[in-house]
């Protein structure tokens, strides 16, 4: 089960897991995008759902559970970049909207899965955090706060569910090529009075490998964590980022 599976990292996860033989249920706030990803994957379903809406999330997961016959793997992937500005300039509504998608969305997904994986004595949860959940980032306080929170949620769940045979980890992507980061770069360039090319270069220069990463690379790590090869990996925040040395 994958939230925010209509594009980017979520869609890459859906494809990778499907290639490995898994049956997929995914949701996205853009129902058409979810359906477009699912239609190319054997036995998959894609539904519209807002991850901040408790009723909508329960409806999606209940439909997904019925379609799949249970739940073995959850990818709680939904996120939003939030406002880009110094903290003193951020509105409370924008702050709350960012935390709701990133943190409430993870909570609702994990709560549903925990109620099923715990009793069945198996399962893997993979939460999407960020390298911003490992550092402070000027002008990105709502996003940073939310992604640190995702890691705290993951570590607590790993402790609660480990004795029941359930493992829980978080992915911490760096700068991922794609439309979402294009929007983040544009907002940062405006806020910092830089060109978009300069902001993109800063992201790359902040890593040892001087590079961005791809959604497929994030999906590869998710597949590893869900596979038997990752059976004793739990409670970990794993960076896929080219080794971040400093945040921009």
Q: Is residue 200 part of a domain?
A: no
Q: Is residue 124 part of a domain?
A: yes
Give the domain CATH number at 110.
3.40.50.720
CA angle, 76 then 79 then 80, to 5°: 175
Q: What is the mean pLDDT of the chain?
A: 96
Q: Is residue 71 part of a domain?
A: yes
Give me the domain span that covers residue 60: 8-175+214-240
Q: Is the Cβ–Cβ distance between 218 and 9 less than 8 Å? A: yes
Overall domain count for the chain: 1
Can 135 be counted among the known catalytic residues? no
Q: Is residue 25 part of a domain?
A: yes
Q: Please report which residue ranges of 69-193 form alpha helices under DSSP H.
A: 92-99, 105-120, 141-161, 179-192
Q: Which of 143, 148, 203, 212 is catalytic?
A: 143
Q: Is residue 223 part of a domain?
A: yes
Q: Is 96 exposed, middle or buried (0-12, 13-18, 19+ CB in 10 A)?
A: middle
Distance CA 85, CA 83 (A): 6
| Claim: this prediction has a pTM higher than 0.85 | yes
Residue 193, number of CB atoms within 10 A of its CB = 7
Q: Is residue 188 part of a domain?
A: no
**Number of H helices and number of E strands within the chain?**
9, 6
3-state secondary structure of 81: coil
Q: Is residue 187 part of a domain?
A: no
pLDDT (tens place) for every residue of the chain, 248 residues total? 999 999 999 999 999 999 999 999 999 999 999 999 999 999 999 999 999 999 999 999 999 999 999 999 999 999 999 999 999 999 999 999 999 999 999 999 999 999 999 999 999 999 999 999 999 999 999 999 999 999 999 999 999 999 999 999 999 999 999 888 898 899 889 988 999 999 999 999 999 999 999 999 999 999 999 999 999 999 999 999 999 888 76
Q: Is residue 208 part of a domain?
A: no
């Amino acid at each position: 089960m994958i939230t925010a599976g209509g594009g980017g990292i979520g869609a890459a996860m859906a494809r990778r897991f499907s290639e490995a033989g898994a049956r997929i249920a995914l949701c996205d706030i853009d129902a058409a995008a979810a359906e477009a990803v699912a239609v190319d994957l054997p036995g998959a379903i894609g539904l519209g759902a807002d991850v901040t809406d408790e009723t909508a999330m329960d409806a999606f997961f209940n439909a997904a559970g019925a379609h799949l016959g249970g739940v073995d793997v959850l990818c709680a992937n939904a996120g939003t970049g939030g406002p880009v500005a110094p903290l003193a300039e951020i509105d409370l509504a924008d702050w709350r909207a960012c935390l709701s998608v990133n943190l409430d969305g993870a909570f609702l997904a994990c709560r549903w899965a925990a109620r099923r994986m715990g009793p069945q004595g198996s399962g893997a949860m993979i939460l999407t955090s960020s390298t911003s959940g490992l550092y402070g980032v000027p002008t990105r306080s709502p996003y940073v706060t939310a992604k640190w929170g995702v890691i705290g949620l993951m570590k607590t769940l790993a402790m609660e569910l480990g004795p029941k045979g359930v493992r829980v980890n978080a992915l911490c992507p760096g700068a991922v090529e794609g439309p979402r980061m294009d929007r983040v770069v544009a907002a940062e360039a405006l806020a910092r009075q830089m060109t978009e090319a300069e902001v993109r270069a800063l992201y790359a220069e902040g890593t040892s490998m001087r590079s961005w990463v791809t959604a497929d690379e994030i999906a590869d790590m998710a597949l590893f964590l869900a596979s038997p090869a990752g059976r004793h990996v739990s409670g970990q925040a794993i960076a896929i980022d080219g080794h971040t040395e400093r945040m921009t």
